[in-house]
């Protein structure tokens, strides 16, 4: 039994969000761990604004 009132109504939304997230990260399961580690190191060094500007620059050509 759920201890928080209204929590049972949140379960379908949580389940749907979990399924969506699972689908979005499924492609990462085929990427070697060392590649993910290298990517996280590079992304950690970059400032978020720099990443956004790079993506916008590529997207707008």
Ordered by start, the domain boundaries in the chain are 7-60
Residues contacting residue 36 through CB under 8 Å, at least 6 positions apart: 28
Instruction: For 17-32, write each residue's pLDDT tens digit.
Output: 999 888 888 887 888 8
Residues 4-14 pLDDT 10s: 655 678 888 98
Global confidence as pTM: 0.39
């Amino acid at each position: 039994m759920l201890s928080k009132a209204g929590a049972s109504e949140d379960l379908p939304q949580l389940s749907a969000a979990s399924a969506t997230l699972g689908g979005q990260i499924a492609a990462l399961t085929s990427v070697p761990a060392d590649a993910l580690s290298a990517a996280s190191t590079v992304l950690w060094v970059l400032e978020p604004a720099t990443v956004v500007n790079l993506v916008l620059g590529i997207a707008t050509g």
